[in-house]
Amino acid sequence: IRKGNPHIVGLLGREEEGLLRAAGFEDADDGDALECCAGAGAACTAGAGEEEDNKQACAARVPLAVIEVLGVAEATHLALRRALVEGDAPGRGALRCQDTAISMALECALLDHVGQRSADCAEAEKKRRRLAEVEDVRSPDRWREVLVSQGGEFVLDGGSLEAWLDSDADHRTLAHDLLELQTAAMRWYGTGARCHCERWREHVLDPIPSAAAAPEQESSESSARERGSKASSAEFLRQLFEDELRLLREALFAFPEQAGASPALFRESASKGADRAGGDGGSEADCGNGSAGLAECSFVAVAAPERWVISSTVLAVE
């Protein structure tokens, strides 16, 4: 930007010039222009062979700095204009930041702007993390760490299930979506949801023979043939994951049969766990644990409190 530009010359030597420099504008080599080549006021310098990389780095930094400064300037401008229109200024056309009403208007406007920017940045960061996680799930090298972080240690069985996940990125995406929903269900609905999810995980591993299992461990030839056909079928595993994902979505997001009640799917799981707590032990006992599991998954009807009536008598005092 040439300093002699009629739109710029009136800004030099004033607070507006400070805003330009905060946005990354620096004096050009000839001294007659301002160059925007850096963010946050840091000059961009390039050595031999680094010019192209330097330009790309500057292009990535400058817009954010400019947007931030322009956003603050716009919020300030709107606050001052509103104060002028509403007559908060002591005299028409005279706005001074030292005036109490003006300073309060500016402070509120800037705090609102910063708060909104913070919320926007948090949302953008959340989306960025989500995209990075999705990319890692589809990566043939990094998907195991992501699924384990979602509580999916059981999928790393060293057998057919892990091989099925390793064979296709869509399989891993499906498993990741299901693990996320199972984690949310267990966080929201406690024991009942945990019982259901643990029972399903045992079921998904049951028809898949371990890589270390020997053929003679099967009870019969027909049973081995049936289990082997299921384990080798990618369609079988895909359908198993899709059915569970659909079931959980219906349980979590469908309109409840009773307002405030946990899904029937989890209440039934907790009830089954309580019934089998004394017999099987293990995870079933942990799921049931007597009536404690039901308490987390069911709302108990509570009688409405009695209304108290307060009466008073007014006495005349001589």
- Beta carbons of 189 and 266 less than 8 angstroms apart: yes
Name the residue with higher pLDDT: 289 or 266.
266
Scanning 139-233, the segments in alpha helix (DSSP H) are 143-149, 160-167, 169-205, 221-231
Q: Is 33 helix (H, G, I), strand (E, B) or coil?
A: strand
The least confident of 29-38, 42-51, 124-133, 178-187 is 42-51
Q: What is the pLDDT of residue 169?
A: 93
Task: Tell me how long the chain is.
Answer: 318
Cβ-count burial of 169 within 10 angstroms (0-12 exposed, 13-18 middle, 19+ buried)?
middle
Instruction: Select, from the ranges 48-62, 95-109, 175-189, the one with the highest average predicted confidence (pLDDT).
Output: 175-189
Average pLDDT over residues 256-273: 79
Average pLDDT over residues 62-68: 67
Task: Say if residue 82's pLDDT is above 80.
Answer: yes
Q: What is the pLDDT of residue 232?
A: 59
d(CA 90, CA 95): 8
- Beta carbons of 245 and 174 less than 8 angstroms apart: yes
Q: Please give the structure tokens belonging to residue 129.
A: 């993390």
Q: Which of 30, 32, 52, 57 is nearest to 43 (CA)?
A: 57
In 10 A of CB 186, how many CB atoms? Answer: 19
Q: What angle do CA 158, 161, 162 make, to 5 degrees?
A: 50
Q: What percent of the chain has pLDDT over 70?
A: 64
d(CA 256, CA 269): 17
